Amino acid sequence: MSLHLPPLLKPRFGQPVAVLGGGVSGEGVQALVAALGGTSRVYDQKGAEFTARAASGHGLVVFSPGFAPEHPWLARARGAGAEVLAELDFAALCWGGRLVAVTGTNGKTTLTEFLTHALRTAGRTAVATGNIGHPFTRLVAEVGSGLLPAPGSALQRLAAQHPNRHAPGAARDCYAVCEVSSFQAEALRHFHADATLWTNFAEDHLERHPGLEAYFSAKWNLVTRTTAGAVFAGTTVQRFAARFDRPLPAAAAVASEGQPADPRLAGTVFAEYPQRENYLLAAAWWRHAGFDEKILLAAAKTFTLGRHRLSRVMEQEGVTYWNDSKATNFHAVEAALARFPAPVVLIAGGKGKGGDLAGFVHRIAPRVKHALLIGEQGAELAFHCSTFRVAHTACASLAEAVRRAAELAEPGEQVLLSPGFASFDQFRNYEDRGDQFERLVRDLRAPANLR
C-alpha cells in the first residue's frame, strides 16, 4: 500500500506542517509527513515558540499528547484557521490496516505486548505501537510508504521473522496493537478502533485531569470511537462506568477480578494477579475475533514480561529485592503488595500526579513493614505514614533508600521498589529509575557494603 493524503489533509499540505512537541511522538509525526511528501517544522517549549505569526504559516498542526486540550498553542492554531490534529488522529487518517486499541490505568503495556506476541504466534502481522514508545505515526510511515523499514525498526524486525508478510501491499492485513493513554484518548476525533480492550480503572493522572470523572471521560472517548460490540472492559471499568452513568453493553463486561486459578496458565506470567487480568481481557477479544484459544495459551507459555514490572532482581543475605519501577500510580503499588504474603520494606515516592494520598497510605499500611520515602512526594508521604502509624524513613536519594533497606530487611523478607509516582523529579523515566535500583542492589554484594 502506498500512502495517499486523505481528502481532509490535501488542502493543508501546501504549507509546512507544524509539529507541536519535539519528543518521540513529534519525531513520528515528522516521519509520516515526510513519507506523505510534505515538510514540517517543530515547535517545542525548549525550542521554537509557536507564536501567532508562526501559526499563520501553517494549514495543519499536529500535536503530541503532552499538550492538554486547553493549551494556548492549540487555541492559537485554531484561531489561525489551521486543522489541528492529535498525533493518533493524524496516523489513523492515513492507516489502512487493522487497529486494536488497549487502554487502562495499569497493565496496558503488557497487554499490548502480549496481544502482539499472540497475533504473531498465530501467523499474523502485528506491531505494538502508540504509547508503548513506537508512535503510531512512525508505524504508518514504515508500513505504508512503500520504502524499506528503517534499520532496527519494529517493522524490520518483524519482516525478518515473516519475510512473505510485509510487502507494502499487505499493510491492510497488518494489526496495529495500539496502547492509548488518557492523554491521547481525550483529544481523539478521527481515530477509529476495530476493537478496544480496557483493562482497569483507578485513580491516576489527576495532575492533568480535573477529577476522577474527567479521567474516566478521557478514556471513554476511545470507547465511543470503537466498532460496536468490540469493546472489552475489566471489572473495575464496569464499576466506574455505572458510577459515572456511562452504560456498557453486557457483551463488553469481562469478569477480570477475583477469578479462580486456571491450571492451563500454570508456569506463565499470567498464572497470578495482576497479570491474570491481562490474559482474561486478551482471551475475551481473541474469542470475539474468531481465533483458536489454544494458540493464545501457547503464546502465554512463551511470553515474557518487560523489565521493571515486579521483576525479581536478586537475593542477598536471605533478602529478596524486587524492581517494580513501572508502578507509577497507587493502584499498581497495591497490586504489587498483594503478591506478598507478609509486609515488605517498600521504597516509594517520586513526582506527584494528584489523588488521595492519605487514602493510599491507609490502604497499604498493613502490607508495609517499613517505608523508605524518596523524591518530591517524600515529605507528604511521611506525614501520612505518621498518621497511619507506618514505620518510615525519609531518604535523600534512591541510593540511600537501598542502603537503608539492606539494613532493615531480615532474612526471608522482601524489599520492593514500587514507587507509586512519576519518575521525572529525580530520573529520566521509570526505566532509568529501575536500572539505577538494580545497579544499587547488585552493588550490595561488594564487601564494603555487606552488613
Helix, strand, or coil (residue 190): coil
State whether residue 305 is helix, strand or coil. coil
Neighbour count for residue 57 (Cβ, 10 Å): 13
Residue pointed to by grid coordinates 495500539:
178
Nearest to 175 by CA among 236, 64, 249, 98: 98
pLDDT of the residue at 145: 59
Q: CA 381, CA 395: separation in Å to the nearest integer?
A: 12
pLDDT tens-digit map of 90-114? 999 999 999 999 999 999 999 999 9
> Tell me: the pLDDT tens digits for 306-349?
899 999 999 999 999 999 999 999 999 999 999 999 999 999 99
Which stretches of 194-247 are assigned E, i.e. beta strand?
195-198, 231-233
Q: Using 70 as the pLDDT threshold, list the residues of the chain that sit under it.
A: 1-2, 145-172, 446-451
Side-chain half-sphere exposure of 251, counting CA atoms within 13 A: 10
Strands (E), 171-249: 175-179, 195-198, 231-233
Domains parsed from the chain with CATH numbers = 14-87 (3.40.50.720), 95-302 (3.40.1190.10), 311-444 (3.90.190.20)
- Distance (Å, whole) CA 265 – CA 301: 8
Cα diameter, the chain: 70
pLDDT of residue 171: 57
What pLDDT is attached to residue 201?
Answer: 97
Q: What is the pLDDT of residue 163?
A: 38
